[in-house]
Amino acid sequence: PVDRSPEMQEARLKLPILAEEQVVMEAINENPIVIICGETGSGKTTQVPQFLYEAGYASPGGAIGITEPRRVAAVSMSQRVAKEMNLSHRVVSYQIRYEGNVTDETQIKFMTDGVLLKEIQKDFLLSKYRVIIIDEAHERSMYTDILIGLLSRIVPLRHKKGLPLKLIIMSATLRVEDFTDNTRLFSAKPPVIQVDARQFPVTVHFNKKTPLDDYSGECFRKVCKIHRMLPAGGILVFLTGQAEVHSLCRRLRKAFPYQKNNTAGNATETSDLKLQFYHTLPKIDLNNYSVVPVDEGDEDRDFDSDDDAAGSDLDLDLGDGDSEEDEKSDSSLPLYVLPLYSLLAPEKQEKVFRAPPPGTRLCVVATNVAETSLTIPGIKYVVDCGKVKQRFYDRITGVSSFRVTWISQASANQRAGRAGRTEPGHCYRLYSSAVFMDFEKFSAPEITKRPVEDLILQMKALNIEKVINFPFPTPPSTDALAAAEELLIALGALKEPPQQLAAKLSCPISALGRVMATFPVAPRYAKMLALSRQHNCLPYTITIVSAMTVRELFEELDRPAVSEEEAAQLKRKRVRFSQMQKVWAGQGPMQKLGDLMVMLGAVGACEYAGCTPKFCEENGLRYKAMLEVRRLRGQLTTAVNSVCTDAGLYVDPKMKPPTEAQVTFLRQIVLAGLGDHVARRVQAEELLDDKWKNAYKTALLEDPVFIHPSSVLFRELPEFVVYQEIVETTKLYMKGVSAVEPE
């Protein structure tokens, strides 16, 4: 019996899926596997777990598990369902990679797909669960795809054991043939229930012309027009990245101020720093910092080291339109402008669900998180730039770049659909119908687009040796599989095949590989952890690996400013940050560890100061990232302790800087993990072409690569370096660089 408040009950009754409760539950009772399709906002995520709970499917020992590809959704949906059901977070809980609130009483558990994959490693039959719901299957995230493949085998196994497990796959689109018509996956076609969306008509308006670059400016103009001329109703704008979102928000707030003030940011005075960690401040040259605009990508998949990433977008016009410099401010028409993207702090994300202040119109400026995972109430107008920012990988070299590309037709239609949830709406597409016709119909599954070494290691740890025979909904390319196996063999995680080609793609896991697979980080970093027992280096390696995994510890200070005041503030912060960077980089031989030493120093200093928002703000650190580093350090420390039971490690907030000997050893460890990421400075005699000036040569790439301007080694140019990754913007840039000695 669920004790919902009358208002909640009323709100639920409006959701299309409520009318289908009986159909849904009958299908689930009678079939082991059911697919539910329904428009975003029809109530799948929030209601299906409640149906199951009320039908008696949950108990503390046999929970309902729901996986989400995005962390934002896992956290926010568990909170929503707990509230709707009037149950405590002890019962309706969530688990994402860095945190969770699961208890022994938990009966409904939201988690990211990566978390469930890890659980399968510990308990292949998932005996804690009676139902698994794979949500947002249409997103085709890599871990979701793998889970569906694994569950297609686990469900029959559980049936044989007499402990049946129900599998429910939920999707926002009707395109589910990759699941239903794949007989290797499901020999009997599972039933598909379609929830008729109570969707109001949305009128789609195409632009006559497609703006070449300045889609941000075009968004701005469109929102202004809507706000000035059209009846009440929320506006939802789709842009591609965090920096764009912020810059449009600022511009709109300026044009239609709500309240008298529009500067909430309290400029921080550089206060006295109690820096015990590295206390000497070197003299610095104030003109000596680089200005590189950096924009964040908007991925927030869990579990994967390569996510939540940021990339430089040197060539991306952020479009703070010069054409309308003298935008008139009109305070008679207040607009309540809110940003929404995955790296935004959760309490700020929650704001979009609340009603806007009386007398204002809501305008949410979002990345594609608002496309299907979160439904914002009261949206009547959608402004769609038609683009998305995605990380692209070269499957062989692993070089990644953020690119802004056209979305698929399916995505465009999803975005448009956001306008018709509560009444008829309008969608303004800032591109022509001809351009739309050229869009791909659907976006490709993630697994076909990125390196898969972490996935392959996880699968091998599940004793799936012949990865190629796995029932993938869509298999990765054999090139990508081969590259992954090769890297894992080089790292010692897989046993080398006895004869070359025959055994390719079916190497068994080694003992080292098993240890590596227990660490929730990329195989390269897992190798570093596995090597760090000597010289008491583990706490340092754990910290460095955590920092490299969380990524983007540092606030983006090179963003374009909208006001002079802001520009001055950013400049102050940049100066301050570049001082701190030098402090954290240490002295003498320590400096050779380069950017990794900076990460170590930053985390050390931040923890020493109690990891407060104030410390982060003052020193150019992202508070949310630092909290994640803290949690990951905790997790890795536990994981290491359980592998080597005599290590007795703990996370020391007053960690001392490493000694010189330790730094030397750390550099060797880093080299062991990143052995295929070595680059050599181009010799003078090779400088035939100017493009090789200050360049490095790597084993895999023909083209010159460069140390990123944000690196502490940018001016040092050591002869040999290892890098965390290469990111392509205007050039190929190495990030996370350390110097190595040729041996």
Q: Residue from 20, 27, 33, 40 that binds ligand ADP (CB under 6 A)?
A: 40
| Residue 80 interacts with which of ligand ADP, Mg ion, none, CB < 5 to 8 Å by class | ligand ADP
Per-residue x/- mask for ligand ADP, residues 58 to 77, rule CB under 6 A? ------------------x-
Name residues contacting ligand ADP, limited to 75-114 (CB under 6 A).
Answer: 76, 80
Q: What is the nearest approach in angstroms of ligand ADP to the Cβ of residue 330? A: 30
Give whichever of 66 and 309 is closer to Mg ion, judged by the CB atom: 66
Q: Is 130 helix (H, G, I), strand (E, B) or coil?
A: strand
Give whichever of 57 and 584 is closer to ligand ADP, judged by the CB atom: 57
> How far are the Cα atoms of 98, 590, 716, 721 from residue 685, in angstroms, in the given order?
49, 30, 20, 20
242 scored as a contact of ligand ADP (CB under 6 A):
no
Give whichever of 236 and 531 is closer to ligand ADP, judged by the CB atom: 236
b/e 68-99 (16+ beta carbons within 10 angstroms → b): bbbbbbbbbbbbbbbebbebebebbbbbbbbe
Q: What is the nearest approach in angstroms of Mg ion to the Cβ of residue 73? A: 7
Please tell me the distance from the alpha carbon of residue 418 to that of residue 372, in angstroms, as a whole number. Answer: 9
Question: What token pair was written down for 601?
Answer: 């120093």
Strands 166-171 and 33-38: parallel
Q: Both ends of the chain: CA-CA distance in Å?
A: 70
Q: Residue from 37, 46, 186, 258 that binds ligand ADP (CB under 6 A)?
A: 46
C-alpha closest to that of 69 among 299, 345, 240, 376: 299
| Residue 46 interacts with which of Mg ion, ligand ADP, none, CB < 5 to 8 Å by class | ligand ADP
414 scored as a contact of ligand ADP (CB under 6 A):
no
| Residue 242 interacts with which of Mg ion, ligand ADP, none, CB < 5 to 8 Å by class | none
Please check whether residue 572 is in contact with residue 715, taking contact to mean a CB–CB distance below 8 angstroms. no
Q: How many residues does this entry show for the chain?
A: 743
| CA atoms within 13 Å, Cβ hemisphere of 557 | 24
Q: What's at 304, amino acid-wise?
A: D
Give whichever of 40 and 93 is closer to ligand ADP, judged by the CB atom: 40
Q: What is the nearest approach in angstroms of Mg ion to the Cβ of residue 45? A: 3
| CA atoms within 13 Å, Cβ hemisphere of 531 | 20
Q: Is 623 helix (H, G, I), strand (E, B) or coil?
A: helix
Contacts of residue 508, Cβ cutoff 8 Å, sequence gap at least 6: 460, 465, 494, 495
Q: What is the nearest approach in angstroms of ligand ADP to the Cβ of residue 134? A: 13
Give whichever of 375 and 729 is closer to ligand ADP, judged by the CB atom: 375
43 scored as a contact of ligand ADP (CB under 6 A):
yes
Q: Please give the backbone phi and psi of residue 711, each rounded to the nearest 5 degrees, phi first.
A: -80, 145
| Residue 390 interacts with which of Mg ion, ligand ADP, none, CB < 5 to 8 Å by class | none
Q: What's at 223, amino acid-wise?
A: V
Question: What token pair was written down for 10?
Answer: 């009323």
Give whichever of 57 and 733 is closer to ligand ADP, judged by the CB atom: 57
Give whichever of 45 and 152 is closer to Mg ion, judged by the CB atom: 45
156 scored as a contact of ligand ADP (CB under 6 A):
no
Give whichever of 171 and 591 is closer to Mg ion, judged by the CB atom: 171
Please tell me the distance from the alpha carbon of residue 53 to that of residue 294, in angstroms, as a whole number. Answer: 45
Give whichever of 31 and 422 is closer to ligand ADP, judged by the CB atom: 422
* Closest residue to Mg ion, based on beta-carbon distance: 45
Q: Among the candidate windows 38-46, 381-389, 569-577, 593-601, which touches ligand ADP by CB under 6 A?
A: 38-46
4 scored as a contact of ligand ADP (CB under 6 A):
no
Q: What is the nearest approach in angstroms of ligand ADP to the Cβ of residue 103? A: 21
| Residue 480 interacts with which of Mg ion, ligand ADP, none, CB < 5 to 8 Å by class | none
Q: Residue from 32, 156, 211, 377 that binds ligand ADP (CB under 6 A)?
A: 377
Considering all CA atoms of the chain, what is the largest pairwise distance in Å, rounded to the nearest integer? 80
Size, binding site for ligand ADP by CB under 6 A: 15
Please check whether residue 476 is in contact with residue 448, taking contact to mean a CB–CB distance below 8 angstroms. yes
Q: What is the nearest approach in angstroms of Mg ion to the Cβ of residue 370? A: 12
45 scored as a contact of ligand ADP (CB under 6 A):
yes
49 scored as a contact of ligand ADP (CB under 6 A):
no
Q: Is 672 helix (H, G, I), strand (E, B) or coil?
A: helix
Q: What is the nearest approach in angstroms of ligand ADP to the Cβ of residue 38? A: 5
Give whichever of 49 and 520 is closer to Mg ion, judged by the CB atom: 49
Give whichever of 199 and 268 is closer to ligand ADP, judged by the CB atom: 199
C-alpha closest to that of 651 among 684, 607, 690: 607
Q: What is the nearest approach in angstroms of ligand ADP to the Cβ of residue 512? A: 42
Q: Where are the beta strands (DSSP E) in 84-239?
A: 92-95, 108-112, 129-134, 166-171, 192-195, 202-206, 234-238
Q: Among the candidate windows 35-43, 239-247, 547-555, 684-692, which touches ligand ADP by CB under 6 A?
A: 35-43
Q: What is the nearest approach in angstroms of ligand ADP to the Cβ of residue 87? A: 15
Strands 129-134 and 63-68: parallel
Q: What is the nearest approach in angstroms of ligand ADP to the Cβ of residue 233? A: 15
| Residue 49 interacts with which of Mg ion, ligand ADP, none, CB < 5 to 8 Å by class | none
44 scored as a contact of ligand ADP (CB under 6 A):
yes
Give whichever of 40 and 729 is closer to ligand ADP, judged by the CB atom: 40
Contacts of residue 510, Cβ cutoff 8 Å, sequence gap at least 6: 492, 493, 494, 495
Q: Residue from 35, 38, 412, 593 that binds ligand ADP (CB under 6 A)?
A: 38
| 385 Cα distance to chain centroid | 21
Which residue matches tokens 């009676």?
130
Please check whether residue 481 is in contact with residue 447, taking contact to mean a CB–CB distance below 8 angstroms. no
Q: What is the nearest approach in angstroms of ligand ADP to the Cβ of residue 609? A: 33
Residues that bind Mg ion in the complex, under the rule CB under 5 A: 45
Q: Please give the backbone phi and psi of residue 681, each rounded to the nearest 5 degrees, phi first.
A: -60, 135
Q: Give contact residues for ligand ADP (rule: CB under 6 A).
A: 15, 38, 40-47, 76, 80, 353, 375, 377
